[in-house]
Amino acid sequence: MATATESAAGSVGLVGTTRVVLFDEASPLVLDSGATVAPVEVAYETYGKLDARGANAVFICHALTGDAHAAGHHGDPTHRGWWDNLIGPGKPLDTESYFVVCANLLGGCQGTTGPSSPDPVTGRPYGLRFPLFTVSDLVRVHRALARHLGIERLLAAIGGSLGGMQALQWAIDAPEELATAIPVCASARLSAQNIAFSAVAREAIMRDPDFADGDYYDTGRRPDVGLSVARMMAHITYLSERGMGEKFGRRIQGGDEPRFGLEVDFQVESYLQYQGESFLKRFDANSYLYLSRVMDYFDPFPDPGEAARRLADVHTRFLVLSFDTDWRFDTAHSREIVRTLIANDVPVTFREIASPHGHDSFLLAVPEYHRTIAAFLRRAYRDATGR
């Protein structure tokens, strides 16, 4: 278990990642498809302490390319977890009050079983033989980790984008385990445009000559060109036109005059190239295929009747957040979630937050966003503990 070993204002300090096997051959993970996976190892980190009543646990559900390292650092204080601005003493997820858990997703590549893990039958990485899974399967693994940590009921599950989908699904699958849910810039059903973006990204990976039908692990080569292009294109959708204009405009990289060639010339081109290349150091191409595909198929409310059935016993209180410049999952996606919850008597609060940063706003220290989460969780904690 990761615990803070140094203190600094607002920081959980030095942390570590723990791995645990939650499913094995005797008790495998049974997926919605009926396929089984064993063993299933999960990488996770925790921050803060679980209180005596177990009433202060908050589960972080990460997005497509996230991992378990959400806060603190692993030895270099200049490189902190991806949600370090939200988690720590005095921050919205105040680790002096809350016990915060973050786990790498099933199908991931940062310590949790996925396509790059060894298949016990062959001893070789699964590759594309790893079974497809659903958001409910992701939550099934999260729930097993919560039980392993002695948590019977979460104060909250929170996440952005794919993480928000998990928080919503958790409330549907096991509302008795979840006091509140906070989906941020999420969607209950991807639009055709969103599916198209992901389809092109996957094509870039699978058409890379080094993809080798997903069995590139033993070849000494990887589909790095395809994966970097997929990341570059996706990153464009995470930003807003306004934000890109303010950050880059039409400024030239390394000079004042354009070179009138096909090489990288504009600062925005250099930035995207950096994003694509740096991504290769931490992510697996097959995990990108699987985790982007799980988002495409997510559709918990295919019609009003199914929504009513699935939400009949849900009393989890929701805070649904969107950002006004997010065009990947714009506010209409959040409003549709809110309408469905209200129509089925599920308590929900909704806020659209102003931010110039587009979809990536959920990762950044947007003041109104942080204040809203902090206030919502303080009220939930008072309701749960009477404090």
In terms of domains, do 68 and 97 share one?
yes
Backbone angles phi, psi at 26, to 5 degrees: -75, -25
What are the pLDDT digits (tens) for 116-165? 999 999 999 999 999 999 999 999 999 999 999 999 999 999 999 999 99
CATH number of the CATH domain containing 216? 1.10.1740.110
Has residue 13 been placed in a domain? no
Domain CATH for 153: 3.40.50.1820
- Whether residues 185 and 311 share a domain: the answer is yes
- Give the range of the structural domain holding residue 30, as residue numbers without chain letter: 18-191+299-385
Please tell me the predicted confidence (pLDDT) of residue 198: 97
- Asked whether 160 and 363 are in contact (CB, 8 A), the reply is yes
Q: What pLDDT does 256 receive? A: 82
Q: Please check the confidence at residue 8 and state whether its pLDDT lies above 50.
A: no
* Mean pLDDT (whole number) for 81-109: 97
The answer for residues whose C-beta is within 8 angstroms of residue 211's C-beta and 6 or more apart is: 205, 223, 226, 285
In this structure, the answer to whether residues 313 and 178 fall within a common structural domain is yes
Which residues are within 8 A (CB) of 25 and not within 5 positions of it... i.e. 6 or more apart? 38, 39, 120
The reply to whether 65 falls in a domain is yes
- What is the tally of structural domains in the chain? 2
Chain Cα centroid distance, residue 283: 14
Kindly tell me if the per-residue pLDDT of 200 is higher than 60: yes
Catalytic annotation, residues:
161, 326, 359
User: What is the C-alpha separation between 196 and 201, in angstroms, rounded?
Assistant: 9
For residue 197, pLDDT beyond 50: yes
Residue ending a domain, choose from 241, 271, 293 = 293
* 4 within some domain: no
| DSSP single-letter state for residue 140 | H
For 266, other C-beta atoms within 10 Å of its C-beta total: 15
Judged by average pLDDT, the poorest of 9-18, 236-245, 297-306 is 9-18
Q: How many other CB atoms sit within 10 Å of the CB of residue 52?
A: 7
Q: Are residues 222 and 207 in the same domain?
A: yes
Q: What is the mean pLDDT of the chain?
A: 95
Structure tokens at 226: 């395809």
Question: Which residues have CB under 8 Å from 183's CB, separation 6+?
Answer: 159, 163, 164, 165, 167, 168, 318, 320, 321, 334, 337
Query: Could you report the per-residue pLDDT of 225-244, keeping only the tens digit for each?
Result: 999 999 999 999 999 999 99
**Both tokens of residue 2?**
């990761």
Q: Is the pLDDT of residue 355 over 90?
A: yes
pLDDT at 9 over 80: no
- Reference 195, options 329, 104, 61, 361; nearest CA is 329
For the four alpha carbons of 135, 140, 146 and 149, in that order, the dihedral sign comes to negative
CA atoms within 13 A on the CB side of 37: 28
Give which of 29, 2, 30 is closest to 16, Cα–Cα: 2
Predicted confidence band at 5 (pLDDT cuts at 50, 70, 90)?
Answer: very low
**Phi, psi (rounded to 5 degrees) for 263:** -75, 170
pLDDT band at 2 (very low <50, low <70, confident <90, very high): very low
**Whether residue 122 sits in one domain with residue 30:** yes
